[in-house]
Amino acid sequence: MSSLKVAMIGHGFMGAAHSQSWRSAHRVFDLPADPQMAVLVGRDSSKAAAQAAQWGWESSSASWQEVVERDDIDIIDIVTPGASHAQIAIAALEAGKHVLCEKPLANTVEEAELMAEAAERAAVRGVRTMVGFTYRRVPAASFMRQLIAQGVLGEIQQVRASYRQDWLVDSTAPLSWRLQQDQAGSGALGDIGAHAIDLVQFTTGLPIQAVSGVLQTVTEHRPLADGSGFGQVSVDDLALFNGRLGNGALASFEASRVATGRKNALSIEVSGSRGALAFDLEELNSLQYYNREDQQDRQGFRNILVTEPVHPYLSGWWPAGHMLGYEHGFSHQVKDLVESISGPTPAHSTFAEGLQVQRVLDAVARSAGNESAWTQVARESRIHLA
């Protein structure tokens, strides 16, 4: 078996999740190549060394530029704040490295376009790119996509999607990079709204073509982490918007970091002429299915336990009924990336798809700045629906 040496740029919460997936994926799935956790990169060399030792990386570095140029590195995994995504990804692609980049792809459409163009040039040389939309790789969400592609819902007529958290309800929570536009690009809209947008487009196979939205910052000033005073919050805490899908159907979206009592509540419901499907991340091993063609006395949402080996990704895991968790989506992400590197076709959630999500985020922000006027998404990208 060949090996693929991986360098992860950044650490923190996402670094922990990605490290878990690099450690486990090749031990669960029969992959065509063996990922090796070669180096972890962080600006603070002592912190990077400590995280590398804790998570199982062979070494650490304080220079992503040096690591990107190394001949022995095959994959660059980017888990830094969005402000650095474009610079690192483009440099890595030009150096011939495969790139996995956390979502959203960039902080602006312009940056995302440059990244997608670099990915397109690199693809000619067999270089792969992927955006970290891990929730589409939860087996129940992938199964939802399969059922919709098979036509079990008939014509899609309405979609509802929300992603709600409450970690910013407390007005004394300190200012962090996620609350600063120059680092994060946007707030709840880009951080978690990007997942809701991607999940709708991925499961339905329909691009969002126009939006009408509103953004709100609930707490405008927060204490600085060092206790020296307060800083300005320059991103949204709450985003509400409607979208028009490619077939004319309407979709509603909510992205909130001030939804009291909701910790990580991502949900999507797709209603069609023949039935409906609903997925809730807080019940991530289940899919709700309603069939209008059932006999009248037996109609109602049924619970499908998505743990059978015939369901997406599950053949490598546990016996039926033994549940998966949050971290497994990241292992599936590694599986798809490694298989695409060794195979003839790119895996889904490419940079082109990340660009499409970025264009939707941009259209929502423009709409919110124009009294919620309906705003066209700049251009469509093809949505992969295998």
Residue 71: CB atoms within 10 A of its CB come to 8
On whether the 2-134 domain is CATH 3.40.50.20, my answer is: no
Please tell me the class of the 136-325+350-376 domain. alpha beta
Binned average pLDDT, 10 residues per bin, the chain of 386 residues:
93 96 97 97 97 98 98 98 97 98 97 98 97 98 98 98 97 95 95 98 98 98 94 97 98 98 98 98 98 95 98 96 97 98 94 97 98 90 43
Which pLDDT value is given to residue 1?
A: 58
Taking the CA atoms of 218, 357, 264 and 186 in sequence, report the sign of the dihedral they define: negative
Which pLDDT value is given to residue 379?
A: 76
Cα-to-chain-centroid distance, residue 106: 12
- 193 contacts 164 by C-beta, under 8 angstroms: no
Which pLDDT value is given to residue 380?
A: 53
- 229 contacts 223 by C-beta, under 8 angstroms: yes
- Is 76 strand, coil or helix? strand
| Threshold 0.75, pTM exceeds | yes
> Quick check: do 2-134 and 136-325+350-376 share a fold?
no
DSSP secondary structure string for all residues of 250-302 = EEEEEEES--TT-SSEEEEEEEESSEEEEEEGGGTTEEEEEETTS-GGG-S-E
Which pLDDT value is given to residue 240?
A: 98
Residues, the chain? 386
Q: Locate 268 and state its tokens.
A: 């999507």
> Where along the chain do its domains lie?
2-134, 136-325+350-376
- 40 contacts 11 by C-beta, under 8 angstroms: yes
Nearest to 86 by CA among 64, 59, 107, 65: 107
| Cross-strand bridge partners of residue 211 | 243, 375
Q: In the Cβ-directed half-sphere of 317, how many Cα atoms lie within 13 Å?
A: 24
Alpha-carbon gap, residue 77 to 252, rounded angstroms:
32
Helix axes 109-123, 351-368, angle to 10 degrees: 170
